[in-house]
Structure formats: structure tokens, C-alpha cells
RNA sequence: GCGCACGUGGCGGAACUGGCAGACGCGCCAGACUUAGGAUCUGGUGCCUUCGGGUGUGCGGGUUCGAGUCCCGCCGUGCGCACCA
């Protein structure tokens, strides 16, 4: 190859960039440039930590899974952004902690192991090596001493320890928190004491006292309280994966998020996390963190808190009640029937023997001879439908009369009780009071089944008369001998009736949640073993802390037993259950009962476990005595003096990570789970902060063009030719372009390795940051990267003579124009860097760089050095190289970021826009401090203005010094 | 269906509280240096134009001296939720 280097030997080419970049990466590593000192523990340098004038800052990326496919150009986007931010803040004098570890347990390595027989640890570690190399080449300023891996027994020891903390805790609703709120986690021993002393009543189903209960019975009682507990309950079972899944891992279509396998509800004994105990705090505390509103809304929706009342309806002719939850207790007088979910336990006892009872209308029977057969047929049909089918068959309401009646506690009316699958067992109580006049679903059911409709809220004029009225209005038809709601509005009526219900013992104000407890066990090999053993009574015991970690044993076969994906009669079988000599174990739990034989828990933890707390371990990765030293936690993420912007008045700061950048795909799963664990650890006194992520930024994705042929199959994007007018061909055949997520499935992989080779890491970084706002998704366009290379080439040339390789800056003072643009750029870039506006920062730096390029006599050193420092966060290698060649022996990583001189931000002369009737007709150079009067006079003297205002002036708007708008009288 | 975002040149995108629309970059056009250019440099580049100017931020209306920005109604795209009582 004939290269330009022959003519211009010191040009900034990809080859030179590569040499500079790897050299600086080596230097940074040798010097430990990005080591952030801790105040305490093994990485401590308290004096150094205290010496930072700007305090501390923790910058965090999503915990990556080391994929076997390697990185594509979309992956580094967030890493580069956090690196720029971290480097900028380092130059502002902060002790910045930025590092990256690996979320290394997970399904792909296990599936690969099943196929090849290679140990998942081997493939995982191979993948980590590849990923580390790719990331190192990017020049990220990470503290490599903190690169933890979840599969490291020294790490998962603490994952297991946290699990035991949670297992050994319960949520005491009446305990006062330091912030004054009610409810927090406490050690389970507290609860046991309360039971022993009789200070707390046992569950009402238990007639005996605590002392009378057996060991196993006590354990069962405690499981009702523990924050991590086992329960036999309907869970999501994916036979095709061979494992159960959490609700969050099941898609709307009722399939597994991973692998897209069908998911069935199955009753199984599984580990659960009592996240519901924290539902209120998880919802409320969103007000105290600085997150995108969109993500907060997603979490609030997932938690699904709604306030209302629970009301008990007596069953007619039986000593039984149906409890319902409603958000509209004000419409109680309009409840003309009730509906139970098909799975509701009360259904059987409601159905009378024999024929349809007196008062049954023809539409209610489903064509069956009696309620017994009708209900049985309906429940059977419902049970055969999957959740998906139930949801797909929308609109059309189905159901059948049970033959049973309840009594509306306010109106005293006998109302029929139906079974219908539009009522879900999983929400509220699985039963509703149906108010067809006030709820569209009930309205549809009532019209289909010939049921009475009693309006209780006066509809607005826009009401069509053929639907439910859900808006506000005055209450009507709502009075009995004791209470009247008539004439109230909805809000008043809710309050009045709730008080009445509570007074009469008919119900009470309650809060209901969509959030369910978190299913925490998986039937997989490649995950953290539970630190749990079971005794001969089946009682779960935590393994003593001293015996942690419970190491993951080697097994002959890594695969869980998988089944036909549609076979919902199958049962999970974890791989660890087949390792008999590991499962059976003799242990002394230290409870005074000596060594006994136990059976280990053979399920493993879900992938979320390791990623729920990794950011805490970053703070103190080598600590053997605690998951994180209290002083280190406080230093890096402790609560700050000031609450985040937008927090409610009087709110305290929760502390947490200073900046967390990641994709929106974690909005519910990871971010919710981590918040939950963090709050438990906070309640138990292990953490001073009570939120993990104080500031969260949701980044967009990089999408790349993908192409489909005439059959709709994806073709290799790199081999597609572009023709004129946005036409594309693959091997001569026309193909269609679309934009999508980069990856193997769309065959549009672009590797950062190619970019390093052709352009260098600095150019690549600059391009990714310059593409557009970080929060937006945007299309990748390889050919556009050359613009970023040109920028760096011009920067290089502004400092280095391309022929001689010598520094060519001049030691001359700045001329006025250069000084002005320099200081304006500093001012703008500081604002942009601080708010992650990297694309506009790059635009300003480009303007400055281009302006310096045009200086005929060479670039003054002062301007060159400031530009190099400002470019440093974005393109750190070339900046270090130029900084060093400019005569600075120290790395610029901790150099002070340029400060704008306000004197140059003021303008003495500005361009004033002269508008006539709002349209720009002229421009005027005027002093910046010109008075309104002077400006008006000057503008009115302009020939163009005089001409336009010959028939007179209606008004003149003067906004000195930038704008004057003259409105002439109409001719 | 409900909720939330967002619609600006050929493309990615700028535009602070309403005040010069299109910063910066890609592409494109012209020129320079070159045996050569898919390198580099310089200049130009919203559209239309009779070269005066006209017009222009999805569409239609409104408020205003003035609207990409505010309000109302449509259309489109994306995301979230989806019988949640």
C-alpha cells in the first residue's frame, strides 16, 4: 500500500493512532492512573481520598454479561459516555470511581456447555478475556483492581451472605425507620422473641401457643414472615427451558423472555422474595431519585398500587362472605352482581344442588340444565385456556351464574354471583363487586347477561348513554336508612362511604398492588448455590456464615432436564440434584445439636442475584470481613446533604450511585430487584444509603442497517452493495433495508475491532459520542466516522508539524477573536459535559478546532493546550500524547479542566435583527449595552424600515440589543 | 383500547426562558495538491426563483408584534401497559 505517510510522515493516521493508544493504555495501567483511593480497607489511602477538592463520584455502567459473540459497536456506547463523564469529573478535582466487572453466571454459557461438554466456567472465562481485550482497546479509565466477577467464590460468598440476611429477616410493619416512616426489615430472631413472649399473636389458624408448636411447625409459621421463604404456589414453569421464571421474566404473550418458550402456571415449592413488603417504599421513593420519568412510570405501573376499599358481601343463605377489592367504593349502591374468578375457592360452596334457583334469568345459564353442570363446564373450559388465550379473547365477556346470591351490604338487594374469567385470581381478592353503570367491563358483562344497571354517578353531558360512566359527577341513587351519598362528588363519597364501612365492620380502606413476590429459584447449574440445607423434617436452615461460600460443585451433566416446550405436566429437575454426594451433607450448624445429616438446596439463584449488589462490591472488592466497609459505602454512595431536583419538599437524599447509565430494558427487572435488596440491607443497618441508584440515565441504542432478500431472509449486511437512490443489492439481487438491533440474528454485526483497526479508538469514541443525544436511538453509519478522524487529524496538525513531527504551537498571546471563541467554547463544553450533552460539546470543540486551523501564524500554545484538555475526556489517547509533546510530563487525567474567563463571555457588539412584521429584513451591528431608545431610533432611521413604514407605524417592539420588530400600519 | 414520548435538509442531528431555523458532522458539488485518490486541504450546499425575492420545522386551525418552541384537533412513528376491579 502506498501510504500518505511517505509524503507526510507524521500525519495522524489509524496506524499512528493505534500506536499512541496502546502505548497510553499500557502507561495508564502501569501507573495505576485510574486507581481511586478508598477511605478505609485494603484499597485505602485516606489522605489521598481526603485530598480531592471535589469530593467523590461513583460512575456506573450496566453489569455486562460476557457474551461469546464478542462486542458489537452498540455495546460501548454507554461505557464511552460514562468514561467521558468520569474523566471530565476527574479533571474537576473529584475522586472518581469507575470500573467494570462481569455478571458471569448465566444461561448462554450453560447452554453452550450442554452442547459441547465444556465447563461453563471455562467458556465464561474465555469470553471475559476476549471482552476485556476489546474494552481495554477502547481506553476506558477503569480502576482495574475492582473488576469483580460474580462466579468468583469470593464474590458469591457475599451473594449467599446477603441471601441469608434476607432469609433471616422479616418485615416489621410497625417498626419506625430512621426517616420517621413505618415499617422496616428486622432480624427474624426479633419475631421469634415476640412469639415466645406472647407479644405477637400467631396466625389466626393456629390455636396453640408458640411453645406448643413443633420445630417444623414453627418453621412454617416463620416462613409466613421471612423476606426469603419457600412456598408452594402457582409459578411460571417453562418446560422448554427446564426452569421456573419470575413474573418479570415472562412476556405479555405468556412466553419466556429468554428463548421465547411457552410458560405455564404450575404449583411448585419454590424460593420467593417478599418484595411486596416493600411495595410502598419502592413506589414512594421513586420521588427521591433522579431518574427518567419514563422509567419511574414503568416501575410504578409494575408495582401497580391502587387505593380503595375492601368490602365484605354476605352470601345469602350461608354463613359466608365474599371479600372484594374496589377502587370505587362510592359506587357500592350500584353493585348489581358479583363475579368470582374461575379459580376462586368459594365457587364450589356457592353452587346449589339441583336446578337453577328462583330468579335465574335465561341469559345466565349458559344453556346448561343446572348451576352444577354449568359452573363445572365453565371452570373446565377456563382451566384449559392458557393465560395467553384468556387475554387474546378480549372484548367478548364469558361467564355463568353460580346459582348463589350475595347481599349488597348497603342496598340490601339480593344480587347474583357469577363466575367469569375476566376476573383474575391473581389480583385483589379474585372477586369483584360489579358496578355496570360505573365500570366498562362490568357494563359489557351486564349487557351480555341481562343484568340490572343502576347509575350512581350523574354522567356528564358528553356521556353516550350506552356505556359506563367512569368520570366525576354527583352521586345519585345512593342512600339507605343510615347513610346517603347523594349529592356528593366522587372523592367526597369515597371518603364518606369508607368511613361508614369501617364503622359498621363491613370493610375498610385498603391498598392493592399488582406486584407479586419475586420467584427466586431456578433449576439450573450455572448460578449461585443457595446457602441452605434441609433437615429431616424438611425445615430450611441457613448455612453458618463461617461455612460460606457454598461452592458450586462440578457435575457430570450441566443440563437441567428439559421437556417438550408444550408439556405442562412435566416437573423441574435441577442438575445439582443429581450430585448425590454433594446434596447429602453432614454439618454442625452450631445450634448446639451437633453434626447432623442435611440435604442441600439443589436449586440455584437467578442471574439477578449477582447483579443486585455488584455496585456495592465495587466499593470494596477485596474486603473479607464485610460485603462493603461502612466507611467506604458512606464515602462513595452515602446520602448527600441535598435532595435531588424535583424531590418533594422536605425529602431527604437517599444516596446511591452518582450516575448510572444503561438501557431501558432493565427498567423493571434489575432496577427494581436491586432497589429491594438495597433497602433490606439498609434496614438491617449494613448501608447508610437507602436507594442504590441516585441518578439513572437511560441511553438509546445504536441500530444498524439490516437487509432482507425477496424471501424475507436476512442477508449478511457487510456484503450488501449500495446503488443509486437508496437501492441495495446482495450478490446482484435487490434487498430491502431496515434498521434494527445489532446482532447475529439480523446479520448486521459491526465489531469495534474493525473500527480500532481502520480509525483508532479515539476516532471511534468521538464518533459514538457525536452521533446525537445519548438517550436517543440512532442508526450506525460506518462511512460517517471519517468526520471524527478528520477532526482529530486537524487537532493533531494544529499542534504537530506533519512533516517534521515537531510541536508547532507558537508562544504568542491570543488575539481577541481567538480568545473569545476559546472561552465561549470552554463555557459551553463545561455545561454540555456536565449534562451528558456530548454531541453538542463535540460540535463546539469542532468549531474551535476549525477556527484554530485557520490561524495563519500558527496556534498559540494557550489555545492549543486548552483544546487538548477539553478533548481529553472524549479522545484521551491523542490528548495525552499531545499534552506530553507539549512538554507536560504528568498525565492530564487529573489536570484541571479549563475555566472560562467571564470577561470573554461578554460581547461588546452584537448583531441586532431588524424585523418588519415579524420577518427579518435587515441586520445591524450595535453595542451590546445599547439602550432601547437609541436602538429604536437607529432602526427607524434605516432606509428599508422607512420604506416599509411609509403609511405609518402601528407598533415597535424593542428587545435590546438583539431584536427590533417594526409593525407598519396597513396601507 | 389506555398512557407516555417524538415528527426539523438527501442522512445523523443543532436551536437557553417564544426572538436570525438548519450549529456540527456525513453525503453531494466545485476547486487545490497529485500518476492516481475511496487520502488530505479550500470553498459551496434547505427548497423554489424571472435573482427583486418567495417559501420552509408531519397536516389543519388558534394565541402572539413574532411560534420548530405555547394551545386545540387530526395523521404518522416508537415505547410502555393491556380485562389490574
Query: Which nucleotide minimizes the distance between its C1' and the CA of A293?
Result: B4
A391 — pLDDT class (breaks 50, 70, 90):
low
The answer to whether strand B lies under 7 Å from the CB of residue A304 is yes
A507 — pLDDT class (breaks 50, 70, 90):
very high
| pLDDT(A474) > 50 | yes
Strands A95-98 and A56-61: parallel
Query: Which nucleotide minimizes the distance between its C1' and the CA of A915?
Result: B66
A725 — pLDDT class (breaks 50, 70, 90):
low
pLDDT at A390: 65
| pLDDT(A625) > 60 | yes
Q: A849-899, pLDDT tens digit by residue? A: 999 999 988 899 999 999 999 999 999 999 999 999 999 999 999 999 999
| pLDDT(A560) > 90 | no
What are the two backbone dihedrals, phi and then psi, of residue A925, each rounded to the nearest 5 degrees? -90, 120
Q: Read off the pLDDT of each residue in A486-504 and give the average, rounded to a whole number.
A: 94
Q: Nucleic chain B: which protein residues 162-201 of A have CB below 7 A from it? A: none
Q: List the grid coordinates of A727.
A: 437501492
Distance A958 CA to B66 C1' (A): 12
Listed in sequence order, the residues at least 6 apart from A666 whose beta carbon sits closer than 8 Å to its beta carbon are A62
Instruction: Give the separation between CA A489 and CA A330, rounded to whole angstroms.
Output: 9
Least confident of A244-253, A649-658, A802-811: A244-253
pLDDT at A400: 94
Q: What is the average pLDDT score of chain A? A: 90
| pLDDT(A26) > 90 | yes
Query: Which nucleotide minimizes the distance between its C1' and the CA of A849?
Result: B24
> Which residue is associated with the grid cell 437441567?
A560
| pLDDT(A826) > 80 | yes
Instruction: Give the separation between CA A281 and CA A300, rounded to whole angstroms.
Output: 11
pLDDT at A587: 92
Query: Which nucleotide minimizes the distance between its C1' and the CA of A339?
Result: B85
Give the single-character DSSP code of A914: E
Strand partners of residue A733? A730
The answer to whether strand B lies under 7 Å from the CB of residue A388 is no
A717 — pLDDT class (breaks 50, 70, 90):
confident
pLDDT at A887: 96
Query: Which nucleotide minimizes the distance between its C1' and the CA of A959?
Result: B19
Q: Is A109 helix (H, G, I), strand (E, B) or coil?
A: helix
Instruction: Give the separation between CA A894 and CA A969, rounded to whole angstroms.
Output: 63
Rounded alpha-carbon distances, angstroms, from residue A410 to A311, A470, A498, A510, A907: 11, 21, 12, 19, 75
| pLDDT(A2) > 50 | no
Least confident of A680-684, A715-719, A895-899: A715-719
A257 — pLDDT class (breaks 50, 70, 90):
confident
Buried b (16+ CB within 10 A) or exposed e, A779-818: ebebeebeebbebbbebbbbbbebeeeeebbeeeebeeeb
Listed in sequence order, the residues at least 6 apart from A900 whose beta carbon sits closer than 8 Å to its beta carbon are A823, A824, A826, A827, A830
A388 — pLDDT class (breaks 50, 70, 90):
low
The answer to whether strand B lies under 7 Å from the CB of residue A959 is yes
Q: A511-556, pLDDT tens digit by residue? A: 999 999 999 988 889 999 999 999 999 999 999 999 999 999 988 8
Query: Which nucleotide minimizes the distance between its C1' and the CA of A441?
Result: B83
Instruction: Give the separation between CA A892 and CA A868, rounded to whole angstroms.
Output: 9
Residue at shortest CA–C1' distance from B81 = A301
Alpha carbons within 13 angstroms on the beta-carbon side of residue A874 total 31
* Global pTM value: 0.93
| pLDDT(A223) > 90 | yes
Buried b (16+ CB within 10 A) or exposed e, A886-895: beeeebbbeb
Q: Nucleic chain B: which protein residues 723-782 of A have CB below 7 A from it? A: 770-773, 776-779, 781
% of chain A beyond a pLDDT of 70: 98
The answer to whether strand B lies under 7 Å from the CB of residue A494 is no
Distance A497 CA to B2 C1' (A): 28
pLDDT at A1: 34
Query: Which nucleotide minimizes the distance between its C1' and the CA of A308?
Result: B85
Q: A887-938, pLDDT tens digit by residue? A: 999 999 999 999 999 999 887 778 888 888 888 888 888 888 888 888 888 8
> Which residue is associated with the grid cell 460540535?
A843
Residue at shortest CA–C1' distance from B36 = A2
pLDDT at A971: 52
Instruction: Give the separation between CA A313 and CA A338, rounded to whole angstroms.
Output: 9
Is A746 or A697 the better-scoring residue by pLDDT? A697
Q: Nucleic chain B: which protein residues 910-939 of A have CB below 7 A from it? A: 911, 913, 915, 917-920, 923
Q: Nucleic chain B: which protein residues 828-867 of A have CB below 7 A from it? A: 837, 839-840, 842-843, 846-847, 850, 853-854
User: Radius of gyration of chain A from Cα atoms?
Assistant: 35
Q: Nucleic chain B: which protein residues 121-160 of A have CB below 7 A from it? A: none
Q: Nucleic chain B: which protein residues 399-438 of A have CB below 7 A from it? A: 421-430, 432-433
Distance A873 CA to B21 C1' (A): 31
Residue at shortest CA–C1' distance from B25 = A787
The answer to whether strand B lies under 7 Å from the CB of residue A944 is no
Q: Read off the pLDDT of each residue in A723-740 and give the average, rounded to a whole number.
A: 78
pLDDT at A726: 67
A4 — pLDDT class (breaks 50, 70, 90):
very low
| pLDDT(A570) > 60 | yes
Is A636 or A728 the better-scoring residue by pLDDT? A636
Residue A879: exposed, middle, or buried by beta-carbon count in 10 A (0-12, 13-18, 19+)? Answer: buried
Strand partners of residue A400? A419
pLDDT at A395: 62
Angle, to 10 degrees, between the axis of helix A669-683 and the axis of helix A293-303? 80
Question: Which positions of chain B lie under 7 Å from any protein Cβ?
Answer: 3-5, 11-15, 19-21, 23-27, 35-37, 39-43, 54, 65-67, 79-85
Least confident of A204-208, A433-437, A466-470, A607-611: A204-208
> Which residue is associated with the grid cell 481529553?
A872
Q: Read off the pLDDT of each residue in A135-162 and give the average, rounded to a whole number.
A: 97
Q: Read off the pLDDT of each residue in A381-398 and give the average, rounded to a whole number.
A: 69
The alpha carbon of A849 is separated from its chain's Cα centroid by a whole number of angstroms, namely: 38
Q: A832-850, pLDDT tens digit by residue? A: 999 999 999 999 999 999 9
Query: Which nucleotide minimizes the distance between its C1' and the CA of A775?
Result: B5
| pLDDT(A351) > 60 | yes
pLDDT at A394: 57
Amino acid at each position: 500500500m502506498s501510504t500518505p505517510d511517505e509524503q507526510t510522515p507524521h500525519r495522524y493516521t489509524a496506524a499512528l493512532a493505534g500506536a499512541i493508544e496502546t502505548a497510553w493504555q499500557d502507561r495508564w495501567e502501569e501507573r495505576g492512573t485510574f486507581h481511586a483511593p478508598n477511605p478505609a480497607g485494603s484499597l485505602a489511602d485516606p489522605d489521598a481520598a481526603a485530598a480531592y477538592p471535589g469530593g467523590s463520584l461513583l460512575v456506573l455502567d450496566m453489569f455486562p454479561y460476557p457474551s461469546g459473540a464478542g462486542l458489537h459497536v452498540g455495546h460501548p456506547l454507554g461505557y464511552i459516555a460514562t468514561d467521558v463523564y468520569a474523566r471530565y469529573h476527574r479533571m474537576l478535582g473529584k475522586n472518581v470511581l469507575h470500573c467494570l466487572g462481569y455478571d458471569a453466571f448465566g444461561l448462554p454459557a450453560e447452554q453452550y456447555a450442554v452442547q459441547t461438554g465444556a465447563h461453563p466456567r471455562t467458556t465464561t472465562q474465555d469470553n471475559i478475556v476476549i471482552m476485556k481485550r476489546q474494552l481495554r482497546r477502547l481506553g476506558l479509565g477503569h480502576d482495574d483492581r475492582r473488576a469483580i466477577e460474580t462466579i468468583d467464590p469470593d464474590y458469591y460468598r457475599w451473594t449467599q451472605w446477603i441471601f441469608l440476611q434476607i432469609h433471616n429477616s422479616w418485615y416489621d410493619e410497625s417498626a419506625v425507620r430512621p426517616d420517621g416512616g413505618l415499617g422496616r426489615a428486622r432480624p427474624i430472631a426479633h419475631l421469634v422473641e415476640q412469639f415466645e413472649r406472647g407479644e405477637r399473636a400467631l396466625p389466626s389458624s393456629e390455636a396453640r401457643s408458640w411453645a406448643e408448636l413443633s420445630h417444623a411447625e414453627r418453621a412454617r409459621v416463620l416462613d409466613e414472615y421471612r423476606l426469603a421463604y419457600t412456598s408452594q404456589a402457582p409459578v411460571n414453569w417453562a418446560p422448554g427451558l427446564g426452569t421456573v421464571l419470575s413474573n418479570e421474566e415472562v412476556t405479555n404473550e405468556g412466553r419466556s423472555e429468554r428463548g421465547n418458550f411457552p410458560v405455564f402456571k404450575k404449583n411448585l415449592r419454590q424460593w420467593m422474595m417478599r418484595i411486596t413488603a416493600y411495595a410502598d417504599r419502592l413506589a414512594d421513593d421513586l420521588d427521591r431519585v433522579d431518574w427518567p420519568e419514563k422509567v419511574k412510570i414503568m416501575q410504578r405501573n409494575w408495582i401497580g398500587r391502587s387505593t380503595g376499599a375492601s368490602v365484605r358481601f354476605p352470601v345469602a343463605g350461608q354463613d359466608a362472605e365474599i371479600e372484594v377489592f374496589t377502587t370505587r367504593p362510592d359506587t357500592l349502591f350500584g353493585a348489581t352482581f358479583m363475579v368470582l374468578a374461575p379459580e376462586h375457592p368459594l365457587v364450589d360452596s356457592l353452587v346449589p344442588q339441583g336446578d337453577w334457583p328462583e330468579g335465574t334469568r335465561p341469559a345466565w345459564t349458559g344453556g346448561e340444565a343446572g348451576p352444577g353442570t354449568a359452573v363445572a363446564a365453565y371452570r373446565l373450559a377456563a382451566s384449559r385456556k392458557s393465560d395467553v388465550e384468556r387475554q387474546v379473547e378480549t372484548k367478548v365477556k364469558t361467564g355463568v351464574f353460580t346459582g348463589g346470591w350475595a347481599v349488597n351490604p348497603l342496598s340490601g338487594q339480593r344480587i347474583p354471583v357469577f363466575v367469569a374469567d375476566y376476573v383474575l385470581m391473581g389480583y385483589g381478592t379474585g372477586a369483584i363487586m360489579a358496578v355496570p353503570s360505573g365500570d366498562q367491563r362490568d357494563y359489557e358483562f351486564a349487557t351480555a347477561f341481562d343484568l340490572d344497571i343502576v347509575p350512581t354517578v350523574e354522567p356528564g353531558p358528553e356521556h353516550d348513554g350506552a356505556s359506563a360512566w367512569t368520570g366525576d359527577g354527583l352521586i345519585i341513587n345512593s342512600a339507605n336508612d343510615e347513610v346517603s351519598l347523594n349529592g356528593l362528588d366522587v372523592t367526597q363519597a369515597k371518603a364518606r362511604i369508607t368511613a361508614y364501612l369501617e364503622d359498621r365492620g363491613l370493610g375498610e380502606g385498603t391498598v392493592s398492588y399488582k406486584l407479586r413476590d419475586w420467584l427466586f429459584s431456578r433449576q439450573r447449574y450455572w448460578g449461585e448455590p443457595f446457602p441452605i440445607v434441609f433437615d429431616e423434617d424438611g425445615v430450611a436452615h441457613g448455612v453458618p456464615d463461617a461455612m460460606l461460600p457454598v461452592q458450586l460443585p462440578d457435575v457430570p451433566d450441566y443440563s437441567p432436564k428439559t421437556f417438550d416446550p408444550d408439556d405442562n405436566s412435566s416437573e423441574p429437575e435441577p442438575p445439582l440434584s443429581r450430585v448425590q454426594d454433594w446434596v447429602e451433607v453432614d454439618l454442625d450448624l452450631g445450634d448446639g445439636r451437633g453434626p447432623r445429616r442435611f440435604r442441600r438446596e439443589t436449586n440455584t439463584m437467578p442471574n439477578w442475584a449477582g447483579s443486585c449488589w455488584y455496585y456495592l462490591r465495587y466499593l470494596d472488592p477485596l474486603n473479607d470481613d464485610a460485603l462493603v466497609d461502612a466507611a467506604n459505602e458512606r464515602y462513595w454512595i452515602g446520602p448527600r446533604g441535598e435532595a435531588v431536583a424535583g424531590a418533594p419538599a422536605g425529602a431527604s437524599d437517599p444516596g446511591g450511585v452518582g450516575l448510572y447509565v444503561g438501557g431501558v430494558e432493565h427498567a423493571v427487572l434489575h432496577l427494581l430487584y436491586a432497589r429491594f435488596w438495597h433497602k433490606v440491607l439498609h434496614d438491617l443497618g449494613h448501608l447508610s444509603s437507602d436507594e442504590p441508584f441516585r441518578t439513572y440515565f437511560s441511553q438509546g441504542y445504536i441500530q444498524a442497517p439490516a437487509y432482507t432478500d425477496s424471501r424475507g431472509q436476512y442477508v449478511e449486511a457487510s456484503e450488501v452493495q449500495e446503488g443509486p437512490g437508496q437501492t441495495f443489492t446482495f450478490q446482484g439481487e435487490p434487498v430491502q433495508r431496515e434498521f434494527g438491533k445489532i446482532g447475529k440474528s439480523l446479520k448486521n454485526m459491526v465489531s469495534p475491532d474493525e473500527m480500532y483497526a481502520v480509525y483508532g479508538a479515539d476516532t471511534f469514541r468521538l464518533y459514538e459520542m457525536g452521533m446525537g443525544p445519548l438517550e436517543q436511538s440512532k442508526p450506525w453509519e460506518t462511512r460517517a466516522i471519517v468526520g471524527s478522524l478528520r477532526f482529530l487529524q486537524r487537532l493533531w496538525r494544529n499542534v504537530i508539524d506533519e512533516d517534521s513531527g515537531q510541536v508547532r504551537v507558537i508562544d504568542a498571546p491570543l488575539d481577541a477573536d481567538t480568545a473569545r471563541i476559546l472561552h465561549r467554547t470552554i463555557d459551553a463544553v463545561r455545561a454540555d459535559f456536565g449534562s451528558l450533552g456530548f454531541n453538542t460539546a463535540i460540535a463546539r470543540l469542532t468549531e474551535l478546532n476549525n477556527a484554530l486551523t485557520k490561524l495563519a501564524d500558527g496556534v498559540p500554545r494557550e489555545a492549543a493546550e486548552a483544546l487538548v484538555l477539553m478533548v481529553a475526556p472524549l479522545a484521551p489517547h491523542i490528548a495525552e500524547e499531545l499534552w506530553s509533546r507539549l512538554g507536560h510530563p504528568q498525565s492530564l487525567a487529573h489536570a484541571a479542566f479549563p475555566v472560562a474567563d467571564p470577561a470573554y463571555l461578554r460581547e461588546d457588539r452584537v448583531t441586532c435583527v431588524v424585523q418588519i412584521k415579524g420577518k427579518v429584513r435587515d441586520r445591524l451591528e450595535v453595542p451590546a449595552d445599547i439602550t432601547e431608545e437609541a436602538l429604536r431610533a437607529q432602526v427607524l432611521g434605516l432606509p428599508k424600515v422607512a420604506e416599509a413604514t411609509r403609511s405609518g407605524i402601528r407598533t415597535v417592539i424593542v428587545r435590546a440589543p438583539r431584536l427590533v420588530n417594526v409593525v407598519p400600519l396597513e396601507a
